[in-house]
């Protein structure tokens, strides 16, 4: 269960995508996972929610989780995530959500749905200055959707640096006919 939540918090993948992951989807050489299916209410979906497959790059935390999971389930199971209690692959997210909520309660943290791991990843990325286009592609969002949902989390402390990029890239040069912009 622990490694599931490490992957959830550090990849931003949808819960339905995570429980559908097979070892075939994990690329240890390129530190990526291939998100190409989902599992919703016990039914295996042959595509993702958006009907678009994507590759998700693994940061060090997520990569470590997959390395540890490889020791636990690789070659024993087709799916990466196996229920501790039953020894079977997850068919729904229900038990994972229940464990998440119980963990929050035990630690005195107010209720949040387990899906918030995805939102946490997105906001951490944006608050740390990652390119929004890259973050959108990692989440399987359009840039418009990402900006509508998460724009408030983009670090405004860097606004001066952003506007300076324009000033540093072009020079306004006066000439006899007026002003010339040199890029």
Residue by residue, pLDDT tens for the chain (183 residues) are: 899 999 999 999 999 999 999 999 999 999 999 999 988 877 777 777 777 899 999 999 999 999 999 998 888 899 999 888 888 888 888 888 999 999 999 999 999 999 999 999 999 999 888 999 999 999 999 999 999 998 887 766 666 776 777 777 766 556 666 655 555
Q: What does the alpha-carbon distance between residue 13 and residue 20 come to, in Å, rounded to a whole number?
A: 11
Specify whether the CB–CB gap between 37 and 17 falls below 8 A.
yes
Angle (CA) 148-128-109 rounded to 5° is 80
Dist CA 119 CA 152 (whole Å): 12
121-155 as b/e, with b when 16 or more CB fall inside 10 Å?
bbbebbeeeeebeebbbbbbbeeeebeeebeeebe
* 0.85 exceeded by pTM: no
Contact between 7 and 17 (Cβ < 8 Å): no
Assigned token pair, 54: 């994507």
CB 114 within 8 A of CB 105: no
Architecture of domain 2-112: Orthogonal Bundle (1.10)
In whole angstroms, what is the distance from residue 13 CA to residue 21 CA? 11
Question: Domain spans of the chain?
Answer: 2-112
């Amino acid at each position: 269960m622990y490694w599931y939540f490490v992957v959830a918090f550090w990849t931003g993948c949808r819960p339905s995508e995570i429980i559908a992951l097979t070892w075939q989807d994990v690329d240890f050489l390129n530190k990526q996972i291939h998100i190409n299916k989902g599992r919703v209410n016990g039914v295996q979906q042959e595509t993702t929610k958006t009907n678009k497959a994507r590759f998700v790059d693994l940061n060090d935390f997520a990569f470590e989780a997959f390395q540890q999971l490889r020791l636990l389930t690789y070659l024993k199971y087709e799916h990466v995530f196996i229920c501790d209690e039953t020894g079977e692959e997850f068919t729904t997210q229900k038990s994972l959500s229940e464990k998440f909520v119980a963990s929050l309660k035990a630690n005195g943290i107010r209720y949040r749905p387990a899906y918030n791991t995805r939102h946490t990843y997105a906001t951490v990325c944006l608050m740390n200055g990652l390119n929004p286009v890259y973050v959108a592609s990692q989440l399987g969002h359009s840039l418009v959707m990402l900006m509508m949902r998460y724009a408030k989390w983009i670090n405004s402390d860097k606004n001066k640096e952003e506007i300076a990029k324009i000033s540093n890239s072009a020079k306004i040069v006066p000439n006899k006919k007026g002003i010339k912009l040199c890029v």
